[in-house]
Structure 1
Amino acid sequence: MSEVIAITKSKGGVGKTMTSVSLSACLALNNKKVLLLVRSTRTFNKSIWIL
């Protein structure tokens, strides 16, 4: 079964990306499949990491 974890906040500079990357790395180190999507609503940049 899949689970979705969302880390959101409209304000910038609150550590969303760092929290997301750290959480994803911890899950991956524990043999979990992880798909991390990071999107900035301000600049419309998108990044995708598969761990």
Structure 2
Amino acid sequence: MKLGLSDIIVTGSSENMSTAPYYILNSRYGLHAGNRLLLEPNTESQPDSAYR
């Protein structure tokens, strides 16, 4: 690309979001006993998530 020897250059990429960790809101400094909801970043980042 830098040398200018190519007429056409095709590139591609992919994401690996399936290995993103689950998280718990407001748990930075620990939690008291009880149930907590694990959130999945793949569905939580969508504006119209069906899981909310």
TM-score by length of 1: 0.21
Q: Which has the higher contact order (CA 8 A, sep 6+)?
A: 2
Q: 1 or 2, which has the higher strand percentage?
A: 1
TM-score by length of 2: 0.21
Q: Which has the larger Rg? A: 2
